[in-house]
């Protein structure tokens, strides 16, 4: 191949990779499009694995509860958007999903862990204490911070 510039070379190299990516994507599509597939990025998987090793399966429970709780809040926001625009059919579909997510959250919350609860809670105490200290250093008084917390 004859290239007239570095830019020309980079464009052709990128194009070649794009074709290879499309071919790979085409072969993987039946697996990745399967609605029963569960997957996360390698970074998230590595973080979860590290927490699992450090805190036991309590980490899985806490991460699961956190994620499902977030999912419920997202649905709640969408539900509110539909309610505010009187889109009642859509709101009912979201409400049905919210009921299922809420049931999953309640069910997961009742599952015991094999270990790590005390260590997990100690880690949370350390993290939250540091955040509160930073907020106080930013000008929030100790009493006003906890007063606002108690009023929630």
For residue 25, pLDDT over 90 is answered with no
For residue 2, pLDDT over 80 is answered with no
pLDDT at residue number 49: 97
Evaluate if pTM is beyond 0.75: no
Q: What confidence tens digit (pLDDT) does each residue in 73-102 have?
A: 999 999 999 999 999 999 999 999 999 999
3-state secondary structure the chain: CCCCCHHHHHHHHHHHHHHHHHHHHHHHHHHHCCCCCCCCCHHHHHHHHHHHHHHCCHHHHHHHHHHHHHHHHHHHHHHHHHHHCCCHHHHHHHHHHHHHHHHHHHHHHCCCCCCCHHHHHHHHHHHHHHHHHHHHHCCCCHHHHHHHHHHC
Q: What confidence tens digit (pLDDT) does each residue in 102-143 have?
A: 999 999 999 988 877 899 999 999 999 998 889 888 887 778
Is pLDDT larger for residue 51 or for residue 132?
Answer: 51
Is pLDDT larger for residue 18 or for residue 126?
Answer: 126
Residue with tokens 């007239």: 4
Q: What confidence tens digit (pLDDT) does each residue in 30-40 have?
A: 988 999 999 99
């Amino acid at each position: 191949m004859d290239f007239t510039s570095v830019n020309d070379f980079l464009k052709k190299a990128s194009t070649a990779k794009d074709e290879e990516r499309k071919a790979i994507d085409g072969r993987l599509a039946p697996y990745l499009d399967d609605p029963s597939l569960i997957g996360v990025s390698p970074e998230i998987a590595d973080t979860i694995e590290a927490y699992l090793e450090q805190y036991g399966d309590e980490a899985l429970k806490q991460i699961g509860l956190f994620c499902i709780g977030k999912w419920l809040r997202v649905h709640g926001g969408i539900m509110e958007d539909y309610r505010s625009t009187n889109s009642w059919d859509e709101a009912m579909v979201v409400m049905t999903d919210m009921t299922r997510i809420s049931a999953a959250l309640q069910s997961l919350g009742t599952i015991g862990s094999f270990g790590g609860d005390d260590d997990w809670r100690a880690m949370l105490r350390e993290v939250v204490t540091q955040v509160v200290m930073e907020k106080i250093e930013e000008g929030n008084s100790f009493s006003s911070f906890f007063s606002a917390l108690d009023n929630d």
